[in-house]
A and B are shown apart, each in its own frame.
Chain A
Amino acid sequence: EPEVTQTPSHQVTQMGQEVILRCVPISNHLYFYWYRQILGQKVEFLVSFYNNEISEKSEIFDDQFSVERPDGSNFTLKIRSTKLEDSAMYFCASNSQGSGELFFGEGSRLTVL
Chain B
Amino acid sequence: EDKVVQSPLSLVVHEGDTVTLNCSYEVTNFRSLLWYKQEKKAPTFLFMLTSSGIEKKSGRLSSILDKKELSSILNITATQTGDSAIYLCAVDHAGNMLTFGGGTRLMVKP
Enumerate chain A interface residues (CB-CB to B < 8 A). Answer: 31, 33, 35, 41-45, 48, 50, 55-56, 58, 89, 91, 98-107
Assembly CA distance A45 to B102 (angstroms): 13
Assembly CA distance A106 to B99 (angstroms): 19
> Smallest CB-CB separation from B34: which chain A residue?
A101
Number of B interface residues, CB 8 Å? 21
Assembly CA distance A102 to B32 (angstroms): 12
Known: A100-B32, A100-B48. Is A43-B43 also a contact (CB below 8 A)?
yes
Does B96 lie within 8 Å of A55, measured CB to CB?
yes
Does B42 lie within 8 Å of A31, measured CB to CB?
no
Does B31 lie within 8 Å of A99, measured CB to CB?
yes
Q: State the main secondary structure of chain A at its contact with B.
A: strand
Does A48 lie within 8 Å of B48, measured CB to CB?
no
Q: Is B44 interfacial (CB 8 A cutoff)?
A: yes
Quote the shortest CB–CB distance from A43 to chain B (angstroms).
4
Quote the shortest CB–CB distance from A2 to chain B (angstroms).
13
Q: State the main secondary structure of chain B at its contact with A.
A: strand
- Which of B42, B45, B92, B101 is A106 in contact with, Cβ under 8 Å? B42
Q: Is B110 interfacial (CB 8 A cutoff)?
A: no
Which residues in A have their C-beta under 8 angstroms from that of B48?
100-101
Contact with A along B40-55 (1 / 0, CB 8 A): 0111110010000000
Q: Is B106 interfacial (CB 8 A cutoff)?
A: no
Q: Is B100 interfacial (CB 8 A cutoff)?
A: yes
- Which of B44, B88, B96, B102 is A99 in contact with, Cβ under 8 Å? B96
Quote the shortest CB–CB distance from B75 to chain A (angstroms).
20
Known: A31-B96, A56-B95, A58-B97. Is A103-B102 also a contact (CB below 8 A)?
no
Assembly CA distance A35 to B44 (angstroms): 14
Which residues in B have their C-beta under 8 angstroms from that of A31?
96
Does B44 lie within 8 Å of A104, measured CB to CB?
yes
Known: A43-B43, A89-B41, A107-B42. Is A48-B100 also a contact (CB below 8 A)?
no
Which residues in B have their C-beta under 8 angstroms from that of A104?
42-44
